[in-house]
Amino acid sequence: MRFAKTIGLALAAVLAAGGALAQDKSWKTIRIATEGAYAPYNFMGPDGKLQGFEVDLAAELCKRMDAKCEVIAQDWDGIIPALQAGKYDAIMAGMNITDKRREVIDFSRNYTRESNGLGAELAGPLGKLPDGDVRIDLSTETPESKAVIERLRTALKGKTIGVQVSTIHANFAERYLKGAAEIREYKTTEQHDLDLLAGRIDGIFASNASERATFEKPDFKGYGLVGPKFVGGVFGGGVGVGVRKGDPELRDKFTAAINAMLADGTLKTLALKWFKVDTTPQG
Amino acid sequence: MDPVFMGETFVTLLGGLPLTLKLAGSAVACGGLLALALAAMRLSGSLLLSAPAQAFVFVFRGTPLLVQIFLIYYGLGQFRPVLQEWGIWWFFRDAYWCALLALALNTAAYASEIVRGAVLSVPHGQVEAARACGMGPVTRFRRIVAPIALRQGLPAYSNEIVSMVKATSLASVITLMEVTFLAQKLISQTFRAIEIFVCAGAIYLLLNIVVTRLVVLLEYRLSPHLRAAPREPASAEAAHA
Amino acid sequence: MNSLALMGFGPGGWGGAMVAAAGTTLLLAVLGFSAGAVFGTLAAWARIAGPLPVRLLADGYTTLLRGIPDLLIIYLFYFGGSVALSAIGQAFGAQGFIGMPALATGTIAIGVISGAYQAEVYRGAFGAVPRGQIEAGRSVGMGRLLLFRRIVAPQVLRYAVPGLGNVWQLVLKESALVSVTGLVELLRQSQIGAGSTREPFPFYITAAILYLCITTVSTWGFGRLEARTLRGERRA
């Protein structure tokens, strides 16, 4: 018995020394992970501090939930395993609500919904892609959507397209572009942006909001959105807050707070500030 | 832990093994040649030759490989127009060549020190004896210095090969789909980090055990004089004569 | 913006952040190296004098750690550490998850990795302590602890200095891999800057130079230490 007690004490000392925190379930403090490399959703400023739409949103949501929040940066490819490993309690990282992710984690209601598509050099090989003003909803397959995708595949033959690993965009590329374009997977969108600029890839496939934010930078003069825009289907049901399956109270708290922000227009104001367009989910 | 899942993971990860082997093999080969050149420069006795070699070793041993990879891939990517003008952009455009360059330069820096140490460990008396027998520098190197240095340097060099095999995992950060990249991708699809990393670790461990064994075997072949004499070598020789 | 202004210390400059990150790198390396000294000493003791099962365990530890890429080991500690801690915590009645700060994860991971290398260094150094001295100590009636403190440890440390210098360089470079856990050390800071400004070259070259500065200073330091510890030795 004494042995167990000693071990327990030693462990407590180790935990205290490591600054470890055991989370209680009253949600007075919430740790939120973001990527910090996905402007304008979340990114790092020169002062090394996180900024962006989701950082502002998290602050506002936490105020409404009466909780103290800490937003931390976490690499995208480990963001779900680390949530499950208890590194933090929620994910706000431009993560779309998809069925595949729903199998392992839970989501609040969505707080943005926006279109996705290709970005490339306007004077380059992908500058003259067809269907530039077409917006396709992939949740139902129509003859029109099939024709658009077929035209896109033909135009992308032999080209190299960059996507971020394990995103809805990678899923889209895998499902609709495989066999036509060569797909290169990057750890962050910033890295595929750099390779687009270096000419290692011909185009990127990402969310239109993040592409717009990238192409605003002076280095990217002459780059822009090309080809058709897509929503629905593999792109899921918009961006939401991810939480562990075992924390339904936390999920409901986030959903209630988002609903309140939608109702009084603060979500729209925030969206206009960071995205320049209204990305709030309709209905 | 789920044995079926582990089995499937293992098979998936093995898909990255050819690239891992290709990277490690090419890096060791290219880096080894460069290491010989660097060691020769260091041992030349001319400051003009040895100073640049020393600087090279200092820089590549003093900075993390990961930084070197990022610098070569993303850093030099910024200078596309210049590199295109020089006609070498095709090389830096490809992630594979960038990773190989970083790995080869890195291993060359470490291996050149091993080669230098091995050559310096050759007993001076043996070199003198060779000279006394009238051997020229080339013969002396081929018959005396090289064989002794090879045996001396082999154990340390086997460590260097093992660390190259391990270092190929860093190529995953620049989109190369070797074992570690596949592991990370699988994790982001299945979200089961620990099982997958254990599988990936096992693959590298097995690979390194094979590498170490092979070098030990080579060492054994190269040092017959240290083994107990075979039973009747004399009669066998006699039969041939 | 030209790269000099980019690395400046004024507003919008990343110089301050880079220097601070170099400090984190140094701190992480020192902590990891110290943790490694503990693991290494234990493993070396186990391999020299431990009972058979402990010795096999220590053998397995050094083989395993030296055969698996460090990146994988860091990932394993990162994802596995919290799970293990939480399981232990729950066994003692704590609720929910127990987080582990990135610095602690990095320290333990580097400690475990460098411990495997340090064990070899200590073992080699122990082999260099003349047996006669240990026997002499024993014959004048020294206990094991006293023998260790007065005879073995001072000499092992002396012979271990050059080897430890190599391990230190290794640790310093390994600390760059901890960037994958999100700890903002030198490499992570460079990645953040490169991504944010889309100017990778100035950041990575600055990082490389800062690493070189740290290695240069510490190589010099270890050289001094070596000279000092060997001042009682006869020169060849």
Which residues of chain C neighbour B204 with C-beta distances below 8 Å?
A: 67-69, 72
- What is the block-wise mean pLDDT of chain B (241 residues), using blocks of 10 residues? 89 96 97 96 94 96 96 94 94 95 97 94 91 92 91 91 95 94 88 90 96 91 77 52 44
Give the three-state DSSP class for A116.
Answer: strand
A87 touching chain B per CB within 8 A: no
Tell me, what's the pLDDT at C10?
74
Residue B46 tokens, joined? 């001319």
Cα–Cα distance for residue pair A56/A79, rounded to 1 Å? 20
CATH class of C17-229: mainly alpha
- Identify the H or E element spanning B72: none
Question: Which of C79, C192, C197, C204 is the best residue to mutate to test the A interface, defined by the most A CB atoms within 10 Å of its own CB?
Answer: C192
- Say yes or no to pLDDT of A110 above 80: yes
Over the stretch B202-229, which tens digit does the pLDDT of each residue have? 999 999 999 999 999 998 898 887 777 6
> Locate tokens 């984190």: which residue?
C24
The β-bridge partners of A71 are A32
Which residues of chain C neighbour A87 with C-beta distances below 8 Å?
A: 82, 99-100
* Close Cβ partners of A223 (under 8 Å, ≥ 6 residues apart): A119, A120, A121, A122, A196, A214, A215
Residues above pLDDT 90, as percent of chain B: 80
Which residues of chain B neighbour A191 with C-beta distances below 8 Å?
A: 74
Chains that touch C (3 or more CB pairs under 8 A): A, B
Contact between C99 and A73 using a beta-carbon 8 Å cutoff: no
Q: Considering only A38-47, A123-132, A208-217, C17-26, which range has the smallest mean pLDDT?
A: A38-47
Q: Which of A161, A219, A211 is nearest to A186 (CA)?
A: A161
Over the stretch A157-177, which tens digit does the pLDDT of each residue have? 999 999 999 899 999 999 999
At C98, is the pLDDT very low, low, confident or very high (cuts 50, 70, 90)?
low
Closest residue to B175, CB basis, from A78, A81, A185? A185
Query: Could you give the domains of chain A?
Result: 26-113+237-275 (3.40.190.10), 116-235 (3.40.190.10)
B201 touching chain C per CB within 8 A: yes
Contact between C79 and A78 using a beta-carbon 8 Å cutoff: yes
Over the stretch A30-84, which tens digit does the pLDDT of each residue have? 999 999 999 899 998 877 789 999 999 999 999 999 999 999 988 888 899 889 8
A124 touching chain B per CB within 8 A: no
Over the stretch A219-232, which tens digit does the pLDDT of each residue have? 899 999 999 999 99
Measure A262 CA to nearest chain C CA, in Å.
Answer: 30
Over the stretch C150-177, which tens digit does the pLDDT of each residue have? 988 888 888 899 899 999 999 999 999 9
Measure B36 CA to nearest chain C CA, in Å.
Answer: 22
Rg (CA), chain C: 21
C223 touching chain A per CB within 8 A: no
Which residues of chain C neighbour A18 with C-beta distances below 8 Å?
A: 100-101, 104
B190 touching chain C per CB within 8 A: no
Tell me, what's the pLDDT at B233?
53
Closest residue to B191, CB basis, from A84, A185, A199? A84
At A269, is the pLDDT very low, low, confident or very high (cuts 50, 70, 90)?
very high
At C221, is the pLDDT very low, low, confident or very high (cuts 50, 70, 90)?
very high
Question: What is the pTM assigned to this prediction?
Answer: 0.87
- Say yes or no to pLDDT of A22 above 70: no
Cα–Cα distance for residue pair B211/B218, rounded to 1 Å? 11
* Close Cβ partners of C171 (under 8 Å, ≥ 6 residues apart): C29, C32, C33, C36, C110, C114
Measure C6 CA to nearest chain A CA, in Å.
Answer: 10
Over the stretch B73-82, which tens digit does the pLDDT of each residue have? 999 999 999 9
Q: Looking at residues C173-194, what average pLDDT do you find?
A: 91
Which residues of chain B neighbour A166 with C-beta distances below 8 Å?
A: 185, 188-189
Measure A192 CA to nearest chain B CA, in Å.
Answer: 10
Tell which A residues from 208 to 237 touch C, by Cβ distance under 8 Å.
Answer: 217, 219-220
- Say yes or no to pLDDT of A18 above 70: no
Measure A130 CA to nearest chain C CA, in Å.
Answer: 29
At A10, is the pLDDT very low, low, confident or very high (cuts 50, 70, 90)?
low
What average pLDDT does chain C have?
88
Amino acid in the structure at residue B173: V
At C85, is the pLDDT very low, low, confident or very high (cuts 50, 70, 90)?
confident
Contact between C17 and A46 using a beta-carbon 8 Å cutoff: yes
Tell me, what's the pLDDT at B20?
97
> Locate tokens 């999100």: which residue?
C182
- Say yes or no to pLDDT of C95 above 70: no
- Say yes or no to pLDDT of C12 above 80: no
CB of C17 closer than 8 Å to CB of C185: no
Which residues of chain B neighbour A163 with C-beta distances below 8 Å?
A: none
Tell me, what's the pLDDT at A123?
93
> Quick one: closest CA in A to C182, which residue?
A74
Q: Which 8-state DSSP code applies to residue C230?
A: T
Chains that touch B (3 or more CB pairs under 8 A): A, C
Measure B84 CA to nearest chain C CA, in Å.
Answer: 17
- Say yes or no to pLDDT of A13 above 70: no
- Write the CA distances from C12 to A9, A46, C5, integer angstroms: 48, 6, 8
C177 touching chain B per CB within 8 A: yes
Q: Which CATH number fits domain B19-175: 1.10.8.60, 1.10.579.10, 3.20.20.450, 1.10.3720.10?
A: 1.10.3720.10
At C198, is the pLDDT very low, low, confident or very high (cuts 50, 70, 90)?
confident
Which residues of chain C neighbour B61 with C-beta distances below 8 Å?
A: 169, 215
- The count of other CB atoms within 10 Å of the CB of residue C60 is 10
Over the stretch C28-44, which tens digit does the pLDDT of each residue have? 999 999 999 999 999 99
Cα–Cα distance for residue pair A223/A214, rounded to 1 Å? 9
Measure C10 CA to nearest chain A CA, in Å.
Answer: 11
